[in-house]
Amino acid sequence: MATQLISPLSVTSNGAALDFSPKKIPDRCPSVAFLSAPIAIDGAVTPPTIEDALMAVVTFRDETATGKALEEFTLPDLPERISARELVRLRVREEVARYNAAPSHHFRGLVRPNDAEAELNGYRMRTTRRLDWEKQADAAEAAFTRNGFLLLIGDRQIENLDLEIDLTVDPVVSFVKLVPLVGG
């Protein structure tokens, strides 16, 4: 019997085998590891099936404090369980990738890039340039810790980025930017 090698897979912390391309996996996401060995089930080497790789489709939404949706986008093929930190970093990685695909003087993102000015519905870039998603993701984590935005999963507020989220139960991730009061 010939041995069938399987392309590298991702395995989440809950053991689900996922066939992700490396560009879809955020760097520094702790629940994802790569394997290059074939998978043996009952002594036979077999490729993973759809049942082995359960995926979630997640909607990332920006909302006002009153709950009105401002913008949203959907990402497919996410693990069913993921930390809040990974969700924030994935959201930032996606918005930076979209911006870098067609850089302009306006950036609509979760946090203000360095050397940008806040304006209605985003940030005004002083120069058109590519953004570093990791710097933006680090800034988003820092903003979360100082209450720069609220993170809502379904109808509950997330207060700890290390909390694991079941995306099959709560597939909508909402972000509410908080603006400091002048003189407050």
Which uninterrupted H or E stretch holds 99?
helix 84-101
- Across all residues in the chain, what is the average pLDDT? 78
Q: How far apart are CA 37 and CA 22, in angstroms?
A: 16
User: Cβ distance 115 to 124 under 8 Å?
Assistant: no
The predicted structure's pLDDT at residue 127: 93
Map 20-86 to HEC letters: CCHHHCCCCCCCCEEECCCCEECCEECCCCCCCCCEEEEEEEEECCCCCEEEEEEEEEEECEEEHHH
Neighbours of 90 (CB within 10 A): 21
Fold adopted by 55-103+130-177: Ubiquitin-like (UB roll) (3.10.20)
Neighbours of 52 (CB within 10 A): 16
Q: Would you say how long the chain is, in residues? A: 184
Q: Is the pLDDT of residue 26 over 70?
A: no
pLDDT tens for each residue of 36-87: 333 444 555 555 455 445 689 999 999 988 889 999 999 999 999 999 999 9
pLDDT tens for each residue of 118-131: 988 899 999 999 99
Q: How confident is the model at residue 16 (pLDDT cuts 50, 70, 90)?
A: very low
CA geometry: angle at 28 spanning 27 and 33, to 5°? 85
Q: How far apart are CA 25 and CA 83, in angstroms?
A: 14
The predicted structure's pLDDT at residue 164: 96
Residue ranges covered by each domain of the chain: 55-103+130-177
